[in-house]
Chains A and B, each alone.
Chain A
Amino acid sequence: NAGVTQTPKFQVLKTGQSMTLQCAQDMNHEYMSWYRQDPGMGLRLIHYSVGAGITDQGEVPNGYNVSRSTTEDFPLRLLLAAPSQTSVYFCASSRDRGNEQYFGPGTRLTVT
C-alpha cells in the first residue's frame, strides 16, 4: 500500500513551458485534491475531485487544469508556466467528505 504518490519530486521549467504533475493513490479514495504551499500562506486548494469524471475549482485555479479519468489518478497540468507558479505542490486524497486527508510527498516546482 503506497498511499499517495507524486512525480516528479523536483522540476524546473522556463516561463511558457507546460507540464503535468502526476498523482496516484491506491486506497480507492473518491476525494482527491491539489494544493500549493507557499511560504507564510499555508496550503491553498487549486482543484479537487469528488470522483472519477468530476472535478471543480478551488481557491487558486487559474493557470491549472485537471482531469479525473480513473479513481486512482488525478494529474495537474500547467498550461503556460509562470514564475508565480513556483511553489511546492501537494496532492491529497480522502475516503469521504470530512475525513482525514492523506498527502503525497510533494513536487517542488521552480519556474524561471
Chain B
Amino acid sequence: GNSVTQMEGPVTLSEEAFLTINCTYTATGYPSLFWYVQYPGEGLQLLLKATKADDKGSNKGFEATYRKETTSFHLEKGSVQVSDSAVYFCALIVTGGYNKLIFGAGTRLAVHP
C-alpha cells in the first residue's frame, strides 16, 4: 500500500541551527510529494511540493528533493528561526484516482532563542 514515514519528534533546535526532518515513502505508481506545516492553533498550509523524481521544492528557506532511488523527501533548512516552530507533515498523492493525501504522523519542531 501507500504510506509515509517521517522521523518522530519533537525536534528541538537553537535558533540558526541546521534542520533536517526525514521522510520516506512507499507508493504504487508515481506520487507527488508535499510538505505541509501546521502552526499552533491553525490549519495546514502547503510549504513545498515536488511532482517528479529529482525535482526540488523550496519555499521560505526550506528545501526538499524528490529522491526516487531512496524513496525519500527529506526537509531541510540551513538556519531555523523561532518562528519556524510548528508541526511538519510529509504527504503524498498517488496519481490516478482521487487525489487523496496520505500523511505521515507529523514532526513537531521547537526552536529556542
Contact = CB atoms under 8 A, between A and B. Distances in A.
B43 A90 contact: yes
A105 B42 contact: yes
Interface string A36-60: 0000111111001010000010100
Interface residues of A, number: 28
A48 B106 contact: no
A31 B97 CA distance: 12
Nearest to A88: B43
A99 interface: yes
B107 to A, nearest CB: 10
A38 to B, nearest CB: 10
B82 interface: no
A42 B89 contact: yes
Contacts of A35: 101
Nearest to B94: A98
B45 interface: yes
B73 interface: no
B28 to A, nearest CB: 15
Contact of B98 (A40, A42, A97, A99): A97
Interface string B5-43: 000000000000000000000000000101010000011
Contact of A42 (B49, B95, B104): B104
Interface of A: 4, 31, 33, 35, 40-45, 48, 50, 56, 58, 90, 92, 94, 96-106
Interface of B: 4, 32, 34, 36, 42-46, 49, 51, 89, 91, 93, 95, 98-101, 103-106
